[in-house]
Chains A and B, each alone.
Chain A
Amino acid sequence: MRMERILLSGALMLSLGMLSVTQLAEAKLPTEVSSAIARSDFSQVQQKLTELIQSGIQGKTLNQIIQDKELMKLITASEVIQLTGASQLDELVKSKKSYGAFLNTFLDDVAWMQLYLQAGLIPHDNAVSLRVLGDIWQAHGDDPDFRKYLSLATGTAAAWGAGNFAPKLQNAEKSLTSGNKSNPVWRYKFFRDAHKANKLHKNFINLKPWEIRFVSGGVWDDASLKYTQNTINIPPRRYGDACWKAEYCGTSEFGDTIQGPLFYVAWSDSMGQAQKTVEHGGVCGALSHVGHTAAAARGIPSYPVGQPGHCAYGFRPERGKWLGGFGGPDGGPHNYIFPGKAPTCINLMEEAFKNDAKVAKGYEYATVASVLARLDNVKLADEAWLVAIKTLPHNMFIQQDYQKFAKANNLLNGEQWYDYAQNLIRQYNGHGFAVIEVLKPVMPDVLDQCNDAQKLQLFASLQQALANTPTSWAEDITPILSDQSAQLSSNKNAEKYLELLLNTHMNAGDGSSFGKVLEWSINEYVNAGKGDVFSKAFSKAVAKGGKSTGSNDAQHEKRMSEAYGKAIVAAENARSLSAVRSVSEAAKAYQRKEYNAPAKSELDLPKGKLVSDKGYLRLSTSSGWDSPCDHLNVLTLGGGAFHTDNEEKPSVIVELPEGVDVSGVLVVKNHGNEWRTKKMKMSRSVDGATWFDIAETNDMPKQWKVEFKDKTPAKWIKIESLPNEKTPLHLNRILIFAK
């Protein structure tokens, strides 16, 4: 319990409860504001602030307003109250008087309020974060180093009040069992003490509130943070392995499946989830949470991430560099500031918040803009908004707040909205998915006044931004394509759209969306009986790009072969079976006529039914020696070809359309350079991320046949080469048979 301080005379001071002498001496909020806080009448507080601001801004330019420290304090306080909700704050102060004392301190501290507003995600119309901040202040506000850990306190409070985990964290405060409990004041102290004891990553003390969310805002219980901090201490780069401190197992010691509620019931409620998982096992969800919690416990931002049928995680030893654990960091992050999929929403967040000085400036102007707009000072508000969005163009919340303001005040006509959109798209190059999200509220206004030619121009810009966006299989571009295509009024223009799509994604960026673009194109055109339209568009796209040399026809054929190859690899990396199969079918003319490998009649086939011929494969890397047009044939009795780059552990993964009980696998080498494939490992997976070794050889024969008597479920089979030095992997056949 915090020691009560002696208060200065005055009923006001007494009614405020606990204030230190120092704080009283420095309190500068106008008396009428402080007294309204004490009466828990925040509507009155807001009214008083509004009056003071209104009078304060008279005759001032925007710059003069920004320079006026006292005025900025009032403006910032007004914004905090507006966002939180006056009635919510009334209830908070009524619930406990000391919150009044806290708010008097907080609303008088412009640096602290700005830190709070810059947390990225703070609650609107609820006072949870301020309640939590008040609790932390109550417990530790008198500590001499409280200001040093202000970011920790503020970030923890922000995570508690807003975001995907907020409801669970608030619920966990009420838990009656220590193994399920989470408490923000405990977390503040835990991380503060750990930092003082040199237990945290060196970057921790520099983390801002938006980053603290990914350290102290994790959803597992407090006991798990303590447990993982005490049991896992490894080089930061290795936190991608931290999940393996626990054993992967789907059955408890008492025989209960983890796919049910009984797995952990034998273990004490005072044991946190992490300890239960490390001592008694778990599967991907629990293991990924061990990994992410272990990183967080060392002050390293991290998040768990959902993938189809799997849970993984991401962690970040330094700004901008997210690494993965258990198959992460891509997928749907469970903790985030901007909604979307990783890596795109995470990359956007890093871009938006990377410069601390710009973040401070951008939020400052956004705060002023918001308050001035409420005061109906449209001219100054607009000026402030324009500075805010220019300073922080990638902050989608600030952009959308500006859009609301501009729309409400009819500041832009259709043409100007079009220009705004095009300008924003240029700025969001490399964040294509985000700009589509940012423009959603205004896109109808933009498109309404566009003809098809203008729409195609806009879509071309958007597709360029998307093509230049580093992404992964986790992000699905196809809904965007359907939406855009539907905006065009004629088949002719829809075909022009297809051409620009294929041209852009084939020839720009890293091609990471190209596979999904192909998948969509094939569904919309090839499968709808318009294969010729697709082929024509594909051919045009090839003609516009490519770097091959040679005579015109030969040059075009070479380009087509390369383009199909690139398309197939893109479809494989996009994990799109339909796109791989369709493009491979279209590329049949570019397959090799024969392969330098054993004939079909020489094959020593395992028992069972061949199932690999319905799947597709994915290489760890491709290379100049690779021939993607021949990839699918590798999975058939006739054989095919692939060739990775030189790697330490090159591998190939075969994905089947559905899980099977594998009876056998036959892996066949090409004739020649057989020394490259000697030490080999085969593993299986049912979720695409968790691998179980099923066979190994130190000296792979020409035909490596592995048969399984026991149940061997798999949807994926991986073949890995384990050479002594960097070597490529090339094989002629990988044939998978099922029972």
Chain B
Amino acid sequence: MKLYVPLILLSGVFNCMAAPVPYSEALELAKKDKKNIVVVCTGSDWLPSANDIEKAYASLEKDFPQDKVIWALYDEKEKASEAELKAPKPPIGVWNFPAVQILDSEARPVFYAEGIKPSTLMKLGPIVEKYEKLIDKRDGLWNAAKDKSGEEAYVLIAKGLDAMPEKMARYYKPQIEQLAKLDPSDKTGAHMKYTFGFLSFIEKEINGRIKDQKFDEAKKYIQDCLKKPALTTYQRQMLMAGMFRLQKEQGNLPAALDSLKALVKIDPKTEFAQGAKRMVAYYTQPVKMKNLSWSQGDNRPLWIPMLFDVSSVMKEPGTYEIEFKHRDGHTKFRNPVIKSGNNELVKVSDDKESNKFTVTISKLSGRPILQIDSQGTGWFAGCGDVIITKK
């Protein structure tokens, strides 16, 4: 909402919007006047951009709806007094100053950005307006819920939480707990959406059950959770990661890898999907080496081929000794094959593990590639060089 005022009054407007109040004061004002708070977190005695931040802040007059919002400054000093250390802090701990938080009149967060530049502050007005509307919408839903009960109330409370960014909604514990009370079975998963933690899921629900050999119970848990419509993409993908873990521990790697592929299908663009793709490749793809050495990251937990381009050292038929000379740790090797294109020039398949192999190539054409099954041991510290000598 823009303010259109005669020029003569502009100076008055500017004066009203002069300095932001300290955060502790803003809390009192917000409660009293039922206003939202925009707090900028800075560090006046250590943050190089602190001066620029305050200047940018002070020049926001034209765009911010100052009748509905309290502008506050939280100054986290390097040399803070005892009183300053004890003063109330904004709800979200800051890791990257400067930061800005938009809070409702009860100091609950709806927006957070950190590591901001002074120039970003200048564009804060529209964001403040957007989140003011969000707060209004949310409060409207929650006020309506007060007059309802059971499923109706549940839906309204959940919608109110959904109106906010998920990370912010997690701060609203009373509303989240209300969902649990209104529907202990959490049919839609709205409660789970705001309480799901990957660590307790994977450690307690999955690994805990695996340890107790309760595989079917773990599988049912995952399948029941997947039916809940409210869960986020990340949470669904996390459930599939749990299924992967379960099936892998049951010794069913093909099924486990299918679960990872299903994870990817949920949303291939997420980082989690990228991680799942890497895991699939990790467990299935041969490891193509860039030179005649291998390092810790090339080890695998199961027998997987390593591929070495040996064309620089195998140039003619003959008998060759291939040595895997370790610099550290231990990688197991077996079954060397020399290939050229699709042709296997020589193949050993006796499954005998060794660091040294002798192969005889009677005909050599094309670009020879050494394929060798390998498996990491221990902490996968195995690394070393491949030394090929013609006998």
Contact = CB atoms under 8 A, between A and B. Distances in A.
Interface of A: 176-177, 180, 198-199, 230-237, 242, 245, 247, 249-255, 260-262, 265-269, 279, 281
Given A255-B206, A255-B242, A269-B297, 8 more contacts: A251-B202, A255-B207, A261-B299, A261-B301, A266-B275, A266-B279, A266-B282, A268-B278
A234 B94 contact: yes
B199 A249 contact: yes
A253 B272 contact: yes
Nearest to B245: A255
Contact of B78 (A236, A254, A262): A236
Contacts, number: 87
Given A254-B241, A255-B206, A260-B379, A268 B274 contact: yes
B276 A266 contact: yes
B196 interface: no
A233 B96 contact: yes
Contacts of B248: 255
Contacts of B376: 261
A234 B274 CA distance: 31
A242 B248 CA distance: 35
B206 to A, nearest CB: 6
B253 to A, nearest CB: 13
A192 B47 CA distance: 18
A253 B96 contact: no
Contacts of B278: 265-268
Given A267-B275, A269-B297, A254 B244 contact: yes
18 contacts: A177-B297, A231-B96, A232-B96, A233-B115, A235-B43, A235-B77, A235-B78, A245-B95, A251-B199, A252-B202, A255-B202, A255-B241, A255-B245, A261-B378, A261-B380, A265-B279, A266-B275, A268-B274
Interface of B: 43, 46-49, 76-78, 80, 94-97, 115, 198-199, 202-203, 206-207, 238, 241-242, 244-245, 248-249, 271-272, 274-276, 278-279, 282, 290, 296-297, 299, 301, 376, 378-380
A250 B275 CA distance: 18
Contacts of B242: 255
A236 B379 contact: no
Contacts of A268: 274, 278
A234 B97 contact: yes
A171 to B, nearest CB: 10
Contacts of A247: 199
Contacts of B378: 261
Nearest to B327: A171
Nearest to B211: A711
A427 to B, nearest CB: 35
Nearest to B76: A235
B275 A253 contact: yes
A177 B198 CA distance: 28
A267 B281 CA distance: 12
Contacts of A230: 96, 115
Output the residue of A231, A235, A254, A260 with the most chain B CB within 10 A: A254
Given A235-B77, A237-B78, A251 B275 contact: no
A609 to B, nearest CB: 23
Nearest to B260: A254
- Please provide the 3 A-B residue pairs with the shortest distance between their CB atoms, ordered closest to farther: A255-B245, A266-B275, A261-B380
Contact of B301 (A262, A267, A269): A262
A56 B274 CA distance: 69
Contacts of B276: 266
A693 B290 CA distance: 48
Contacts of A237: 78
Nearest to A250: B203
A244 B282 CA distance: 30
Nearest to B376: A261
Nearest to A197: B48
A281 B199 contact: yes
B238 A253 contact: yes
B77 to A, nearest CB: 7
Contacts of B46: 235-236
A257 to B, nearest CB: 9
Contacts of B95: 231-234, 242, 245
A231 B115 contact: yes
A293 to B, nearest CB: 14
A74 B278 CA distance: 58
Contacts of B379: 260-261
A231 B46 CA distance: 17
Nearest to B379: A261
A268 B282 CA distance: 12
Contacts of A269: 297
B295 to A, nearest CB: 8
A267 B270 CA distance: 12
Nearest to B43: A235
A170 to B, nearest CB: 14
Contacts of B49: 198
Nearest to A237: B78
A176 B245 contact: no
Nearest to A280: B275
Contacts of B203: 250-251
B202 A233 contact: no
Contacts of B96: 230-234
B305 to A, nearest CB: 17
Contacts of B271: 279
B118 to A, nearest CB: 12
B77 A254 contact: no
Contacts of A242: 95
B244 to A, nearest CB: 6
Nearest to A247: B199
Contacts of B206: 255
Contacts of B272: 253
B279 A254 contact: yes
Nearest to B97: A233
A268 B276 CA distance: 11
Output the residue of B46, B278, B379 with the most chain A CB within 10 A: B46
Contacts of B238: 253
Nearest to A267: B275
A169 B203 CA distance: 35
Nearest to A252: B202
A250 B282 CA distance: 21
Nearest to A259: B379
B265 to A, nearest CB: 17
Nearest to A261: B380
A519 B26 CA distance: 56
Contacts of B290: 176
Output the residue of A233, A234, A247, A279 with the most chain B CB within 10 A: A233
Contacts of A232: 95-96
A269 B275 CA distance: 11
A435 B207 CA distance: 52
A245 B93 CA distance: 10
A266 B241 CA distance: 11
A154 B175 CA distance: 58
A549 B297 CA distance: 69
A604 to B, nearest CB: 29
A269 B282 CA distance: 12
Nearest to A236: B78
A269 B278 CA distance: 10
Contacts of A177: 297
Contacts of B97: 233-235
A233 B115 CA distance: 8
Contacts of B279: 254, 265-266
A415 to B, nearest CB: 51
A253 B198 contact: yes
Contacts of A199: 48
B94 to A, nearest CB: 7
A198 B274 contact: no
A683 to B, nearest CB: 17
B89 to A, nearest CB: 12
A252 B238 CA distance: 11
A61 to B, nearest CB: 50
A234 to B, nearest CB: 6
A268 B97 CA distance: 28
